[in-house]
Chain A
Amino acid sequence: MGAQKKRAAAAAAAARVSEDPDDLARQPLQAILLADSFTTKFRPITLERPKVLLPLVNVPMINYTLAWLEAAGVAEVFVFCCAHSKQVIDYLENSEWFSQPNFTVKTIESHNIISAGDALRLIYEQNVIHGDFVLISGDTVSNMSLTQALQEHKERKKKDNNAVMTMIIKKSKPSPITRQSRLGTDELFMAIDPNTKQLLYYEDKADHSKGTICLDKMLLAENPSISLHNDKQDCYIDICSPEVLSLFTDNFDYQHLRRHFVKGLLLDDIMGYKIFTHEIHSSYAARIDNYRSYDIVSKDIIQRWTYPYVPDVKFCGNRATKLERRGICFTAFNSEIEQSRSAQVGSFTVIGYGTKIGSNSKISDSVIGEGCTIGSNVLIEGSYIWDNVIIEDGCELRHVIVCDGVIMKAGAVLKPGVVLSFKVVIGERFVVPAYSKVSLLQQPTVHDSDEELEYADNSSGTVEFSSIQGTADQSNGEMTSESSEAHKPKLGTGGVGYIWSICEGGQEEEWRHSVAPIPEDKLTELSEAMDDDQELVTQDRTALSTSGELISDSNASEGDDNEDSKDDSVYFEKEVEATFLRAVEENVKVDHVILEVNSLRLSYNMTSADCAGAVFYSMMKLAIKTPHSSASELQQNTANIITTWQKLLKSYLLEIDEEIEIILKFEEMCLESAKEFSPLFARILHILYDKDILQEDAILRWADEKEGADESDKVFVRQSEKFIQWLREASEEED
């Protein structure tokens, strides 16, 4: 109640503020933090814990985001929780975030949301956003200052009401070989106006088969100068005007922030909304999108690029650790570590409280959580070990992620890229193959596509989890349950958990997003592939060049265009036919059919001649489909149908051209699709004339046009010669 009242008061206050345009600057800055990425990249871990609570250098990710928002001057944050919302809310309630002065954190919870678009629509309905806001997801680490970007945004907005969004970008050149950025995200192609910084083109899900970027010719006509970028990274921090939320509501099919919203705005030239970019140079911003970015951002944090959000500085939610200088590198240490004298802890390593390290163990470039027990002769390299993990003697871990409560029995080996989810037990001397993902939960079998979302398994996941938890706990000691029995061969003696099979198609892509560095042989393989690629491009170019280079090139693409429009008209015809048949079956009123055909006409951008042709085509199609035994019966059917639907047809016969179109269409049908009509051509033409569908002018003009045509084309003119003759005489008489 109290909270509600407060919110109402805040809303009222905000509304009062927004009434006064001069006070805009004083309006408290709001932010929407999406505590769900609506992807499945962090599975299987995210089946049990939401992504935003996964520890990043021993601090849950969401703390980095919230700490930055607070420092950047945001006054109010709405945390949108979806998958595992209870865990997120519980965590926030127990954290210090709810008790900060000048910084309010509110949670919005929903379970039936499957995308960022839905989330923003829901927030819009709640009517809590009153001014410009920062849109960010809870897995973003940044230390940039918002002041300048915000000011630019506001100034632009003042000048141009259509400037609704400012996107933060950062320089980062993707590797030309793997075509992915350092953070493991796909390469990004953007076109930006170098003067206004307006975003003109955005292509992130790069279609590798397409070797070119296609810039619309209008784009260049309007902007004489454009910069194309392949060296920028999208930070996924957006400064939005309130219109953005209503845009999501207006376009209810927008789901993905970039793929739908940004591209939708760029393509839509009716509303003219504009997106701008702000490039940051010295400060840090990165989103954890996949395991590779988890690895890279962790390293960046340890190497202090994200200052002040680093292990040795206290910010909300972490305990400052002591930093020891080792050579030229840093290692964060806690005083309460029990470390054997002979253990070697290398550079760029963070070790949490209460962790014990046995003798002769070597640890480097890794993060180790709290309360872990590491035996002797253990080798840990470039790995992320979370809390309360037990690693027995002689284990080897290279470039892996190990979640809370995992037990690794003596001599177990994790190959690069392995992810062990919560409480998995790896049997003695078992070697987990590279890139495998191991979880206590079975891999959801119904994975229809990568659109499948984390929340989907939320309920079932937790139920299953609790049941398995029991067995897992038991299995620590004596293993009796048959389930673990069944999986013994999979994870070695005493192992508990399932190795997930890699999703179809993902096999060769697995290395892209893994914590492990990209293997050397992959790189060579790829760079060779790249060569072939180039070869291909030049080859088909030269193939063209032999036959007159540019001309053949242009012809080829013109052919494409024609095909497109042809496709369109075919589709249109089909739709009209379907509409017509339905109308006949369901006895729809003629007026309604006209309305429907009109809407089809608009959506396919057709002329009324096309409509007339299509309607006529469907009528004749119907006539031929109606059972008939003789030609005269067919003629009778046709006459009936024409009589019934003449109003529909007439509504498209505005001018003589359309009438001629009908005759031509009829001719075409007689020659191709409905040869049954060909002996009836003249008679049906007469019917059409009698019904006032065709005027004599149209028929005569058609006959005149055909005068000079080939003999084969004149079959039907010949056939209706008498009729035409009669028409001619009639008109002469009138004169």
Chain B
Amino acid sequence: MDFQVVVLAGGTSKKLVPLVSKEVPKALLPVANRPVLSYVLEQLELSNIKDLIVVVEGADAALCVGGWISAAYVDRLHVEVATVPEDVGTAGALRAIAHHLTAKDVLVVSGDLVSDVPPGAVTAAHRRHDAVVTAMICSVPVSGLSEAGSSGAKDKTKKPGRYNIIGMDPTKQFLLHIATGAELEKDTRIRKSILRAVGQMDIRADLMDAHMYAFNRSVLQEVLDQKDKFQSLKQDVLPYLVRSQLKSEILINGAPQGQQAKENGNDKVSYRILANASTPSFHELYALGPNGSAPVRRTHKCCVYIASNSKYCVRLNSIQAFMDINRDVIGEANHLSGYNFSAQNNIIHPSAELGSKTTVGPHCMLGEGSQMGDKCSVKRSVIGRHCRIGSNVKVVNSVVMNHVTIGDGCSIQGSVICSNAQLQERVALKDCQVGLGYVVSAGCEYKGESLARKEK
């Protein structure tokens, strides 16, 4: 398989403070007590992709991630961990590791993607059209929607968020327009020239770019070389390629135009069969001269692969997403977690100890060696390993990481408690984040706050 895979594992994302820290980079944040990166690696492994490059921002983070990967995947995957400076952006990261890339195509996956869409499907779509770029598109996740929870209280009144505005051709194979970030707040401007070429464009605001791209390697590198201001794949490179698809400025494989046209001619038959299309796509029609002679314009194709609605596909790029993913992976999308659920639809590690009259509801998880006191109640929450939880503790819609101590009579709702944190007696938390090793003193009540140690 002439594909190289690059997993962009990021570093310590500012958006996720205080959940992330030097010791716990984003890639190692636990989702159902497994690092989030493991979900991507597992999907790649399932697609039989075993050679990959994991790019981590920052040396400390790289060390942590590298250590974890070599421990967990020692025999299964051949992983190369590359370190890039912080804040270089996704495009910068690829620029930095350019010398590693040699294959014809490159699959770039974000390390925070929790999904069951096979990466192989994206690469197949990419090859079928001989595209310059193929982006995976998925439905916008329904954020914070939980029947019995307060985790989403903030977002409840809002409509599902909008991440992208995506224009596609009617067959939903080609990407014609993409708007991200600040552009969403403005009126959408669609170029008439592309609409003229394609005739009909479907514009969707309910889809988003899942940050899994297949790139033609030489094109990608050319763009990265030429446009040294490009920082992000999502906001710069992809929109640029989409914009210029009818007036390609890219020399595919560095071949001069004439030669390329000739190649096209030779390949045409086999290409048609591959494309599984009896009629040429609008790109080819557009490329033709007015009298249907040899191509006079250069075009390239930007394709999409749309993940079907039944597939799960969310990125862990905010605290809200972290909560949502944890909830979903032990709830609706529990096939992702790789655990076997009990009859009560929850997972309680055999070594965990529960006190009397303590209940653990469905869609919950209790990690190895954790202990709970009497009369506790856990609903829709994940509790990590070796936690010590006192009596009369309520944990609802929350994530409790490893080695957390929770005193008697605490109530935790919609919150994240990071590893080694300590909650003294009768602490009440609602929609809070408690950072690594933080101590919440007895009797405190917090709502919607972020509690963390001061970084030294």
- Which A residues fall within an 8 A CB radius of B? 173-174, 176-177, 179, 187, 189, 191, 194, 206, 210-217, 219-221, 223-231, 523-524, 527, 530-531, 533-535, 537-538, 541-542, 545-550, 554, 557
Contacts and interface: CB of A to CB of B under 8 A. Distances in A.
B419 to A, nearest CB: 38
Contacts of A191: 203
Interface stretch (B129-137, B228-236, B323-331, B405-413): B228-236
B196 A187 contact: yes
Contacts of A211: 191-193
Interface stretch (B96-104, B115-123, B243-251, B259-267): B243-251
A67 B408 CA distance: 88
Contacts of B183: 550, 554
27 contacts: A174-B196, A176-B197, A187-B196, A189-B192, A189-B195, A211-B191, A214-B188, A215-B203, A216-B187, A217-B187, A217-B188, A225-B202, A227-B170, A227-B203, A228-B202, A230-B198, A527-B289, A527-B290, A533-B193, A534-B193, A534-B297, A537-B193, A537-B247, A538-B247, A541-B244, A549-B240, A554-B186
B311 interface: no
A541 B243 contact: yes
Contacts of B192: 189, 206, 210-213, 230
Contacts of A524: 290
A213 B189 contact: yes
Contact of A228 (B200, B236, B247): B200
A685 B201 CA distance: 62
Contacts of A229: 199-201
Contacts of A212: 189-192
Contacts of B201: 227-229
Contacts of B165: 220
Q: Which residue among B190, B192, B227 has the maximum number of chain A CB atoms within 10 Å of its CB? A: B192
The secondary structure that dominates the B interface is: mixed
Contacts of B367: none
A550 B289 contact: no
Interface size class of B (residues with CB under 8 A): 35 or more
Contacts of A535: 247
Contacts of B170: 227
A558 to B, nearest CB: 9
Contacts of A226: 202-204
Q: Majority SS of interface residues in chain A?
A: mixed
Interface in B422-448: none
A527 B246 CA distance: 14
A214 B195 CA distance: 13
**Which 9 residue pairs are nearest across A and B when measured between Cβ atoms?**
A231-B199, A224-B206, A212-B189, A215-B188, A228-B201, A176-B196, A226-B203, A534-B247, A213-B190
A127 to B, nearest CB: 42
A194 B243 contact: no
Contact of B227 (A194, A538, A545, A550): A545
B167 interface: yes
A562 to B, nearest CB: 14
Nearest to B228: A546
B181 interface: yes
B204 A225 contact: yes
B205 interface: yes
B286 interface: yes
B2 interface: no
B292 to A, nearest CB: 12
B71 interface: no
B455 interface: no
A498 to B, nearest CB: 37
Contacts of A538: 243-244, 247, 249
A722 to B, nearest CB: 50
Nearest to A208: B192
A566 to B, nearest CB: 19
A223 B159 CA distance: 12
B202 A217 contact: no
Q: Which of A216, A223, A230, A548 counts the most B-chain CB atoms under 10 A from its CB?
A: A230
Given A523-B290, A545-B229, A550 B235 contact: yes
A215 B183 CA distance: 12
A510 B319 CA distance: 63
A173 to B, nearest CB: 5
Nearest to B248: A538
Contacts of B247: 534-535, 537-538
Given A217-B185, A541-B243, A228 B196 contact: no
Contact of B199 (A230, A533, A547, A557): A230
Contacts of B197: 176
Which residue among A174, A187, A224, A545 has the maximum number of chain B CB atoms within 10 Å of its CB? A224
Interface centre among B162, B189, B200, B244 (most CB of A within 10 A): B200
Given A213-B191, A228-B195, A230-B195, 19 more contacts: A206-B192, A211-B193, A214-B188, A215-B187, A217-B185, A221-B159, A224-B205, A225-B204, A228-B200, A229-B199, A523-B290, A534-B193, A534-B297, A537-B193, A537-B247, A538-B247, A549-B229, A549-B230, A557-B186
A705 to B, nearest CB: 31
Contacts of A527: 289-290
B182 interface: yes
Contacts of A176: 196-197, 286
A161 B203 CA distance: 27
Contacts of A174: 196
A517 to B, nearest CB: 14
Contacts of A179: 196
A303 B200 CA distance: 28
A212 B187 CA distance: 11
A217 to B, nearest CB: 5
Contact of A213 (B195, B249, B290): B195
Nearest to A212: B189
Contacts of A534: 193, 246-247, 297
Given A524-B290, A538-B244, A230 B200 contact: yes
A550 B240 CA distance: 10
Nearest to A534: B247
A217 B191 CA distance: 16
A549 B229 CA distance: 8
A545 B224 CA distance: 13
Given A174-B196, A211-B193, A535-B247, A554 B182 contact: yes
Which of A179, A225, A226 has the most chain B CB atoms inside 10 A of its CB? A226
Nearest to B236: A549
Interface in B166-186: 167, 170, 181-186
A225 B170 CA distance: 12
Given A538-B243, A550-B182, A230 B196 contact: yes
Contacts of A523: 290
Nearest to A539: B247
A549 B289 CA distance: 31
Interface in B76-120: none
Given A212-B189, A213-B190, A214-B188, A227 B200 contact: yes
Contacts of B185: 217
Contacts of A221: 159, 162, 205
Residue in A174, A225, A547 whose Cβ sees the most chain B Cβ within 10 Å: A225
A546 B229 contact: yes
Contact of B203 (A173, A225, A530): A225
A234 to B, nearest CB: 15
A223 B204 CA distance: 8
B200 A224 contact: no
A533 B189 CA distance: 17
Nearest to B201: A228
A179 B197 CA distance: 11
A217 B170 CA distance: 22
A224 B203 CA distance: 8
A103 B380 CA distance: 71
A176 B288 CA distance: 12
A214 B236 contact: no
Contacts of A557: 186
Nearest to A213: B190
